[in-house]
Structure 1
Amino acid sequence: MSKNTGKNTGRASVSFVEQNRRADRRRNILIQIAVGAVLIGLVVAIGISVVAKKSANDASSAPQPTAVSENGSIRVGPADARVVVEAVEDFQCPACKQFEAQSGTTLSEIANSTESVAVDYRPIATLDRMSSTEYSSRAANAAYCVAATDSAVFEQWHTTMFAQQPPEGGSGLTDQQLVEIAKSAGASSNDVADCITGGRYRETVSANTNSMLDEGISGTPTVKVNGSAVSDLSPSGLQAAVTAAQQ
């Protein structure tokens, strides 16, 4: 009986050791799995962070000149104006040229006659198809290039641009011609010229054009006073809309 008891004890000891070894292997496997999961989590987190940073950079990649508001408008007048006249224009648009010839001086007078009224010019490019060189986008880019100098220069440039508007269906003005118009208005720095020829704000133009279309703008010129559309774009009509908004 004593011999049999010794054999059983030996077998039990071997089984106990084997169980410990197996338990150790299981623990090691679980530790490895846990470490792997942590590493995978870190890799995923880093990947998400990189993608998020890239998306943020892409979203803010379109540069904005300092004279332009967050919504893409070029303001002439006080930043805290109580009444804002918004003029959405395309430099290839014949009706916009007519509006500038008829009421451009009135807009300038409105923006400079009182501290409570401002004019927001919003150049967009919906008529690139009407030239062989995407003139609408190039001209709107030039608007932002000039606006980065000062508002007084922008107004003179704005008037000259519409006075020299090229006919639809042609090649439009060249970049060098746009540079010369900027120079004639007083924006004669090399930076302005490089901005025009390099298309510095083309992405800005595209983003602002899409924004305007999303807002329901269906044609140019579109004029609003404090968000309300103005149907009478004559000098008297604009003055009446501004006067009503001031009351």
Structure 2
Amino acid sequence: MAQTGNKQQDKRVSARERIQAAQLREQQAAKRRQRIVMAVSAVAVLALAGGVTLAITSASDKDDKAKASSGVVVPANATGKDGLVITYGKADAPHTMEVYEDFRCPVCKHFEAANGPAVAKLTEDGQVKVEYHLAAFLDKNLTGKGSRTALAAAGAALNEGTDKFKQFHDVLYANQPDEREDGFGDVNHLLDLAGQVPGLKTDAFVKAVQEGTYAPWAAKVSAAFNDSGVTGTPTVKVDGKTVDLFGDKTMVTPEEFTTRVKQAAGLQ
């Protein structure tokens, strides 16, 4: 009887171990599926990592290039090679600040909240212009289409004017959904947000957003980002030199950010 009891106990232990192993595998798989979300959730990434940007995977490269091969309508006011860059500020400014972002990137939201006004202020005296290089890789990492749809809508805003793009850009980051949600994938939601930008919701803008007029352009912009060699968002470069966006385990203050940008540009 003792042997029978021991065998039954062994079976129960073995079954429990198999269940625990299966649960562990599922937990590990879930962590892999949500690795970006887990890595950059809210302020924790800033507090713990002290300077971690959102890592890029290359999973979306082929898709972006394939979509970009279809007919591309380039927004008015686009700049750079093939019209894949958005320049804010005076085009002849002697120094260039390159900002690399993804509209779904939560760390980008923190950067914009902390230093977006400082970025705009740096352009006021005409010494620095800003070039935005936008990505959509988070649609692959987090699933959905919010990055691409928001980027295409930003193209429609750019077509209305550079200032309209900048205002819409700021509205998107101020209203960024939780990274686990694909709120920007809904064009009606994007149109509602566009209502916060005075004069943006023209008939042409609404039609372009609804019909995805600038979706192929957005794919090409994203493909260019994937080929840029930048390994995380947000990334800021000034005259080709990367600016560290983090201080003591937090995003740098506007004052420190401005100082670092001016130092990189040789303005102080």
TM-score, scaled relative to structure 1? 0.70
Following superposition, the deviation at residue 60 of structure 1 comes to 8.7
2:115 equivalent to 1:103: yes
- Check conservation: 1:132, 1:172, Cα contact below 8 A: no
TM-score, scaled relative to structure 2? 0.65
- Check conservation: 1:68, 1:75, Cα contact below 8 A: yes
Partner of 1:10: none
Instruction: Pick from 91, 107, 124 the counterpart of residue 79 of structure 1.
Output: 91
Instruction: Pick from 238, 248, 251 the counterpart of residue 225 of structure 1.
Output: 238
- Consecutive unaligned residues of structure 1, counting only runs of 5 or more, are 1-57
More helix by share: 1
Partner of 1:63: 73
Following superposition, the deviation at residue 101 of structure 1 comes to 0.4
- Check conservation: 1:83, 1:246, Cα contact below 8 A: no
* Structure with greater Cα Rg: 1
Q: Distance in 1 between matches of 2:118 and 2:218?
A: 26
- Check conservation: 1:91, 1:140, Cα contact below 8 A: yes
- Consecutive unaligned residues of structure 2, counting only runs of 5 or more, are 1-67, 247-251
Find the residue that maps to 1:217 and give its secondary structure.
coil
Instruction: Pick from 177, 185, 192 the counterpart of residue 205 of structure 2.
Output: 192
- Check conservation: 2:183, 2:189, Cα contact below 8 A: no
Greater shift in the superposed pair: 75-84 or 200-209? 200-209
Greater shift in the superposed pair: 127-136 or 73-82? 127-136
Q: Distance in 2 between matches of 1:73 and 1:126?
A: 17
Q: Distance in 1 between matches of 2:141 and 2:207?
A: 25
User: Which of the pair has the greater relative contact order for Cα pairs under 8 Å at 6+ separation?
Assistant: 2
Q: Distance in 2 between matches of 1:125 and 1:212?
A: 9
Find the residue that maps to 1:63 and give its secondary structure.
coil
Partner of 1:24: none
**Equivalent residues in 2 for 1:1-247, closer than 5 Å:** 61-71=71-81, 72-111=84-123, 113-129=124-140, 133-173=144-184, 174-186=186-198, 187-232=200-245, 234=252, 235-244=254-263, 245-247=265-267
One-letter amino acid of the counterpart of residue 134, structure 1: K
- Let me know the Cα RMSD of the aligned residues: 2.0
* Number of residue pairs the alignment of both structures matches: 189
Q: Distance in 1 between matches of 2:259 and 2:115?
A: 13
- Check conservation: 2:157, 2:165, Cα contact below 8 A: yes
- Check conservation: 1:108, 1:155, Cα contact below 8 A: no
Give the percent of matched residue pairs that are identical in Structure 1 and Structure 2. 29
- Check conservation: 1:88, 1:221, Cα contact below 8 A: yes
Q: Distance in 1 between matches of 2:191 and 2:180?
A: 22
Following superposition, the deviation at residue 59 of structure 1 comes to 6.3
Q: Distance in 2 between matches of 1:153 and 1:225?
A: 24
